[in-house]
C-alpha cells in the first residue's frame, strides 16, 4: 500500500472528527458507550463499571515488543495501557490495571503528547489497550495530536465487548482493529466476566470491524497498515470454544482473517474461583485449538506465540 495515510487524517481534514467528538461526549452524559449500558453521567463525576469519569486513566505507555510481528516490526508497537476495563475478566493478566485501578488520570492534551512521544520513538503504530470505555478521550486527543503531526496507524486493542453503535462512530478513525474473541459459551462468559451476552456482542462487533477495515493488509516490510488482527486465548479444557469461534469467523467474517491463537493463559486475579481455570492449558489444549482453526478453514494463523510456549 504505497503512500498509505491513516484514515483519521482525512477524517480530520474534512471536518468529520469534531462531530464525532461531540457525539461521543454526549453519549457519556448517560453512558451507553459499551454494552454494559451503565447510563451514568460521566461528565459530572459519576462512574459505572469501568470506574472512569470524564478523563481517561493511563497505567503505562512505551514501545512494546511482545505484540504480534505485524505490529512490532523493528521499533515496537506504541502501546498505551488504559486503566480499568469494561469487561473485567476474573482471570485478567493485568488484574492490577483492569480491576485495581493502577494508573494516573490524564487530560486529552497529555494523551495527545503521549501519542506524539511514541511516534518520535519511531514506533510503527499507536496501540490503545482496552479503549472501549475511553473513546471520547481518544477522539479528543486526536484532535490535538493530528495538527501537531501525528501520522501513525491507530490500533483498537479490545476485549471484544464493544457496542456496534460506538464502533460506527469510529469508522474513519481506526485502520487496525485487534479484538479478542474470548468465549463462545454464554455460561462461561457469565461466570468469568458477568457478561452473558459476550458471545453475541463479540460476533456483531467483529462483523462491524471487518466491514470498516477488511482483512489485515501489511506493507512490503510486513507491518500492519489496515484490517483486523484477531486474538483468541486458549483456556484449559476447551472452555473458550475455539472450534465454534473459528467456524463463525470462517463462515461469517473471512477465511483470510489474521488470527493469533494464544497459549499463554495462566491463572491470575480471581481465576482460582473457577476450578477449571486454576491450571495452565496443556500442550494438547493448544494443539487442539490450532487444529480446530485449520479444520474450520482459518489458515492465516500467527506463528510467533508458538516460539514462546513454556509449560
Express each pLDDT in 269-307 by its tens digit: 998 999 999 999 999 999 999 999 999 999 999 976 544
- Tell me how many domains the chain contains: 1
Residue 3: its pLDDT value, please?
Answer: 78
Q: Write the CATH number for 183.
A: 3.20.20.70
pLDDT of residue 304: 65
**In this structure, is residue 242 part of a structural domain?**
yes
Look at residue 254 and tell me if it is in a domain: yes
> For 301, which DSSP code?
B
| pLDDT, position 305 | 53
Q: Write down the pLDDT at residue 238.
A: 93
Give a yes or no: residue 168 inside a domain. yes
Q: Let me know if residue 1 belongs to a domain.
A: no
Residue 169 has pLDDT above 50, yes or no: yes
- Helices (DSSP H) in 99-197: which residue ranges? 108-120, 135-145, 164-169, 186-193
The tens digit of pLDDT for each residue in 96-129 reads: 999 998 999 999 999 999 999 999 999 999 999 9
What's the chain's average pLDDT?
A: 95
User: Does 63 reside within a domain?
Assistant: yes
In a domain, 213, yes or no: yes
| Confidence grade of residue 310 (pLDDT, cut at 50, 70, 90) | very low
Grid cell digits, residue 126: 499507536
Report pLDDT for 307. 44
Other beta carbons less than 10 A from residue 187's beta carbon: 10
Phi, psi of 258 (to 5 degrees): -80, 120
What does 235-280 look like in DSSP terms, one character per residue? PGGGTT-HHHHHHHIIIII-TT-EEEEE------TTGGGSGGGSSP
Percent of the chain with pLDDT over 90: 92
Partners of 260 in beta bridges? 231
What does the DSSP assignment read for 184-243?
S-HHHHHHHHS-TTHHHHHHHHHHHHHHHH-B-EE-TTS-EEEEEEEEEEPPGGGTT-HH
DSSP 83-104: SS-SS--TT-TTHHHHTT--SE
SS3 call for 13 = helix
Does the structure show a pLDDT above 70 at 311? no
Using 50, 70 and 90 to split pLDDT, how confident is the model at 308? very low
Looking at the predicted structure, is the pLDDT value of residue 165 above 80?
yes
Residue pLDDT, tens place only, 25-83: 999 999 999 999 999 999 999 999 999 999 999 999 999 999 999 999 999 999 999 99
Task: Note the pLDDT tens digit of each residue in 10-22.
Answer: 999 999 999 999 9
pLDDT confidence bin for 1, thresholds 50/70/90 = very low
Q: How much is the pTM?
A: 0.95
291 contacts: CB under 8 Å, gap ≥ 6 = none
161, 129 in Cβ contact below 8 A? Answer: no
> What residue numbers bound the domain in which 62 lies?
7-308
User: Do 240 and 211 touch, CB atoms closer than 8 A?
Assistant: no
Q: Is residue 2 part of a domain?
A: no
Residue 33, domain member (yes or no): yes
Amino acid at each position: 500500500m504505497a503512500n498509505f495515510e491513516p484514515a483519521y487524517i482525512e477524517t480530520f481534514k474534512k471536518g468529520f472528527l469534531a462531530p464525532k467528538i461531540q457525539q461521543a461526549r454526549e453519549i457519556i452524559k448517560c453512558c451507553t458507550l459499551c454494552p454494559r449500558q451503565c447510563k451514568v453521567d460521566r461528565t459530572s463525576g459519576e462512574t459505572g463499571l469501568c470506574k472512569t469519569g470524564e478523563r481517561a486513566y493511563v497505567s503505562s505507555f512505551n514501545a512494546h515488543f511482545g505484540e504480534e510481528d505485524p505490529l512490532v516490526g523493528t521499533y515496537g508497537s506504541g502501546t498505551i495501557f488504559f486503566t480499568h476495563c469494561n469487561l473485567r475478566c476474573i482471570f485478567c493478566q493485568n488484574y492490577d490495571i483492569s480491576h485495581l485501578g493502577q494508573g494516573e488520570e490524564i487530560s486529552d492534551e497529555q494523551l495527545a503528547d503521549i501519542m506524539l512521544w511514541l511516534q518520535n520513538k519511531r514506533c510503527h503504530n499507536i496501540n490503545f489497550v482496552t479503549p472501549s470505555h475511553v473513546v471520547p478521550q481518544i477522539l479528543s486527543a486526536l484532535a490535538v495530536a493530528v495538527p501537531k503531526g501525528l501520522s501513525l496507524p491507530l490500533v483498537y486493542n479490545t476485549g471484544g465487548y464493544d457496542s456496534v453503535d460506538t464502533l460506527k462512530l469510529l469508522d474513519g478513525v481506526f485502520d487496525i482493529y485487534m479484538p479478542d474473541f474470548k468465549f463462545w459459551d454464554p455460561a462461561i462468559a457469565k461466570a468469568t466476566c458477568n457478561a452473558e451476552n459476550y458471545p453475541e456482542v463479540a460476533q456483531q462487533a467483529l462483523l462491524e470491524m471487518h466491514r470498516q477495515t477488511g482483512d489485515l493488509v501489511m506493507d512490503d516490510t510486513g507491518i500492519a497498515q489496515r484490517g483486523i488482527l484477531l486474538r483468541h486465548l486458549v483456556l484449559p479444557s476447551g472452555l473458550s470454544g475455539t472450534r465454534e469461534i473459528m467456524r463463525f469467523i470462517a463462515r461469517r467474517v473471512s477465511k483470510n482473517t489474521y488470527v493469533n491463537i494464544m497459549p499463554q493463559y495462566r491463572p491470575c486475579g480471581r481465576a482460582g474461583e473457577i476450578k477449571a481455570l486454576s491450571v495452565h492449558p496443556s500442550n494438547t489444549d493448544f494443539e487442539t485449538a490450532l487444529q480446530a482453526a485449520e479444520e474450520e478453514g482459518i489458515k492465516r494463523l500467527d506463528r510467533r506465540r508458538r516460539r514462546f510456549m513454556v509449560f
